[in-house]
Structure 1
Amino acid sequence: MRSATSKITTPTTTTTTTTTTTAMNTSPKRCKYQYCATAAADDSHKLTDSNNESTLLPGLPNHLAQLCLCSLHPSLLHRVCRSWRRFIYSPSFPPFFSLYTLLSSKSPLPEPKNQDQDQNQLNPFQFFSLDPISSTWRRLPFPPSDPLLHLLHRHPSFISRTIPIQSLTVSGRLVLIAATGHQFLPALSHPLAFDPISSQWFFGPPLPTPRRWCAVGSAGGSVYVASGIGSHYDSDVARSVEKWDMKKKKIEWNWEKMASLKDGRFSREAVEAVEYRGKLCMVNVKGHAVKQGAVYDMEKNRWENMPEGMIGGWNGPAAMGGEDRLYVVDEANGVLSKYDSENDSWEEVVDSPEILRGAQHITAGGGRVCVVCGGGERIAVVDVVATPPRIWVVNPPEGREVVAVHILPRMNLPEW
């Protein structure tokens, strides 16, 4: 497998050959000591080595050694010994951030040799996670095969563009929410979600109207789906807004109707609804085309007009970073900017057209902004905390292109 990182030189950023150990900050929101103390108290989380318990620090019980080791960066622990490497991938260690991707095969897959062959193996779409500590791509467990995922990303009738597959993150989980299937019908009747901590897939509640070409977003532990097209265009669906509260018990999961949009103009394109300061913000068209913007006040359940400065600079994929930072990449000019709400303007962060031009998808978290660009050939990672910002490239596994990228806690690896 080829290296996950490449050296990049840009005129406005610091050149870096940093490995993916710096791809994102690893500090979780929860206090490390609190996390380790809670996990260490659970006997089911003790590390085992064959039939004997591994010794993390000679002379100390493991539950005390865990408290000591939790204060160190996982990249340091990974270099020392196998027992420490096992520890950082166990439930007892605070989960650090990793990069999660939906990848598509560049070439057609072979026909199944027999009916018993696992259909998941032949699916052109696979989910992978990039471990920033070991710089290793890991395949996620296969999604449920009933029903089998049939998604369209490219089609001979649309040579110049791709068909969107919409996914998002909410409460530390990856959710696949909308896509196009065969015969150009909505591909998902239920949201399909993955929990990195348990490494398990699960289905959400059935969508009242399965759709595609919609606006999707998350905030406060809830998933929002607005507008879109079902099996055919319907003005009521194009104006509708639905909410799935994932904080509720699974038995109580459902889709709740929220305040409708004033018209159906947001069904023109698949777009992000980005949470910013307690409100969901979205535009109905990507790029530099004339567009409309809308802001949804979740507390008051009402729609508002988007500020002129915000909509004027929203010229590409957008994402919310930490500390109320809204980022957008100008897909035509390759400029990463962040929104200044006080002046209703966009402040340039990185100008790197040779890397960021043609941006397709963006995610932010842990002090990093990750951008899918180059037709899915690469992921550009921008360290927005560094001064000046640093930028480098992560390559997907050989033979695959990136459809979407997200930042989530790393998976537990029991085999370690």
Structure 2
Amino acid sequence: MANSITSSPTATTTPTDHASPFPTTKLPKLSSLHHLDQPLLPGLPDHIAQLCLSLVHPSSLYSVCRSWRRLIYSPSFPPYLSLYALLSSSSSSSQSAQSQSDAVDFFTFDPISSSWHLLPPPPPDPPLRVLLHHPSFISRNLPIQSVSVSGNLILLAATTHNFLPALSHPLIFSPLSTAWALGPPLATPRRWCAAGAVQGVVYVASGMGSHFFTDTARSVEKWDLHLQDKNDGKPRNFGWMWERKSGLKDGRFSREAIDAIGWRGKLCMVNVRGDAAKEGAVYDVEKDAWEEMPEGMLAGWRGPVAAMDEEVMYALDEAKGALRKYVPERDAWDNILESERLRGAQQMAAGAGRVCVVCRGGARIVVVDVVASLRRSWVVDVPAGLEAVAVHILPRMNRLGFGFPMLEDSTSSE
């Protein structure tokens, strides 16, 4: 399909017919599809027809007929993975439009229809008010820190216009239920912290609250989402809360917002973004102990980093535009590809064989197939007038019956 994250390789790559953007997941329990306008397959009951059609890639079903198109977005069809993005108005907005430029919207890019869709808005109480652009920070945006955990998008930290922590509770979006919810209250709401997840558990470390305090800058908290399942899905049940863990040795990780990368049962992070000299730390979640980051890992941490299924770590050298894979046996990074458009990369996510990179300025997202024998990459354009703050890879959203607005196709390939 042209102009799609599914099959829009660059001119230097080899296209594959109906190449999957991400593998589909396990087929959920079947549900009735009697609301469809016509039988899925004439002569077969819908539940049998669905079993047959679930073996066909969604991009093939999408272009055949309306009933099949509706099927792939129904709750009973295996949810393929999609791109989710936090988008804001362009930082080039005029001063008179500054308040509007601080608005954050949540979008998902459907790789099958090659279109952006607006997510339902977060709950109005408490309202989400964040500061992204400020005259004192001309060359950069103030961060909004988010993670993807167990198929959910979770907002953890941001800054208000008064330079205070914007979130007292995590804000959770579930693509499958298309609903927002509040997580347990943070013991210490913070900003400019380290945030990450490993094995379905969310961690925040260091940072600051309204002011810098050494105790906050050294503290570590964890929130186990699995406890909600054990409590019959009721978030107010006892046990679904933040738990204090072993702290950092000092407050050097509170200098800026940091992505803590979940990898093989550990959280890996550095205290400074980019190509500057930095310190690294690794947290062993089983031992509840901090250790030094291996020298080779630290040396190659020169930009955004992400881990594929918490097993394979990828890093971008933002100065050279080089994407690399970490090889723990040699404590070294192997080059995957180098591209001019990856220079100045701001953030990235990894999942199901793809690495998605927010390019300089946030107007484009580069998708790289890192498991294909011939490296493929293509570009997804962000809707005009917006820029990407962060991207995540999560199950596609159920759109039937919700009427989410759909923007015109805003993707391109190179």
Please say whether Structure 1 and Structure 2 have the same fold, judged by a TM-score greater than 0.5: yes
- Cα distance in structure 1, aligned partners of 2:259 and 2:310: 19
Q: CA deviation at 1:99?
A: 0.3
Q: How far apart are residue 78 of structure 1 and its match? A: 0.8
Q: 1:151-181 deviations in whole A, cap 9, x for unaligned?
A: 1111111111221111110000000111111
Q: CA deviation at 1:48?
A: 3.2
Q: 1:84, 1:283 → 2: CA distance?
A: 47
Q: CA deviation at 1:23?
A: 6.9
- CA shift, 1:148, in A, is 1.6
Match of 1:381 among 334, 348, 367: 367
2:265 is the alignment partner of 1:278: yes
Paired residues in the alignment total: 388
The residue type paired with residue 202 of structure 1 is A
Give the distance between the partners of 1:160 and 1:193, measured in 2 at CA.
Answer: 30
**1:25 match:** 22
SS at match of 1:207: coil
CA deviation profile, 1:323-347 (whole Å, cap 9, x unmatched):
7110111111111101000000000
Alignment partners' CA distance in 1, 2:122 and 2:302: 34
> CA shift at 1:275, angstroms?
1.0
Conserved 8 A contact 1:16-1:391? no
**Corresponding residue for 2:343?**
357
Pairs within 5 Å for 1:267-346: 267-322=254-309, 324-346=311-333
Q: Find out whether 1:98 has 2:97 as its counterpart.
A: no
- Residues in 1 aligned to 2:395 and 2:8: alpha-carbon distance in whole angstroms: 26
Distance 1:93 1:229 in 2: 44
After superposition, give the CA deviation of every residue in 1:98-154 in whole Å (9 maximum; x if it has no partner): 00000001236999xxxxxxx9x9972100000000001000000011122111111
Asked if 1 retains the 8 angstrom alpha-carbon contact of 2:4 and 2:113, the reply is no
Which residue in the other structure is 1:148 paired with?
127
Partner of 2:49, secondary structure, is: helix
Q: What is the CA distance between 1:68 and its match in structure 2?
A: 1.0
Q: Say if 1:66 and 1:329 are closer, same or farther in 2 by CA, change over 3 A.
A: same
> Where in structure 2 are the equivalents of 1:81-92 lying within 5 Å?
81-92=65-76
| Aligned pairs (5 A) from 1:229-240 | 229-240=208-219
Structure 1 residue corresponding to 2:141, chosen from 162, 171, 180: 162
Following the alignment from structure 1 to structure 2, what is the Cα–Cα distance between the partners of residues 191 and 323?
22
Q: What corresponds to 1:115 in structure 2?
A: none
Q: Indicate the SS of the match to 2:202.
A: strand
Once residues 122 and 258 of structure 2 are traced to their aligned partners in structure 1, the CA distance between those partners, rounded to angstroms, is 24
Any idea what SS the aligned residue of 1:355 has? helix
Q: RMSD of aligned C-alpha atoms?
A: 2.3
Q: C-alpha separation between the residues in 2 aligned to 1:381 and 1:329?
A: 13
CA shift digits 1:60-86 (9 cap, x unpaired): 111111111111111111111111111
SS of 2:148 mapped into structure 1 = strand
CA distance in 1 between partners of 2:9 and 2:60 (Å): 25
Deviation at 1:26, TM superposition (A): 2.8
Return the alpha-carbon distance in structure 2 between the equivalents of residues 109 and 409 of structure 1. Answer: 37
What SS is found at the alignment partner of 1:328? strand
Q: Secondary structure at the match of 1:248?
A: helix
> Any gaps of 5 or more consecutive residues in structure 1?
112-118
State TM-score, norm by structure 2: 0.89
Distance in 2, matches of 1:367 and 1:100, equals 16
Identity %: 59
Is residue 274–residue 319 contact of structure 1 (8 Å, CA) maintained in 2?
A: yes
Letter aligned with residue 21 of structure 2: M
Q: TM-score, normalised by structure 1?
A: 0.88
Q: 2:88–2:101: 8 Å Cα contact kept in structure 1? A: no
1:235-256 deviation per Cα after TM superposition (whole angstroms, max 9, x unaligned): 0100100001111121231100
Give, in whole Å, the separation in 1 of the partners of 2:106 and 2:263. 28
The aligned amino acid for 2:34 is: T
- SS for the counterpart of 1:175 is strand
What is the 5 A alignment of 1:2-401?
A: 14-15=12-13, 22=19, 24-28=21-25, 30=26, 32=27, 35=28, 39-40=29-30, 45-49=31-35, 54-106=38-90, 107=93, 124-249=103-228, 250=235, 251=237, 252-322=239-309, 324-352=311-339, 354-401=340-387
1:408 to 1:108, Cα distance in 2 relative to 1, 3 A? farther
Q: In structure 2, how many angstroms separate the alpha carbons of the residues matched to 1:323 and 1:218? A: 9
Gaps of 5+ in 2: 229-234, 404-414
Distance 1:233 1:16, change over 3 A: farther
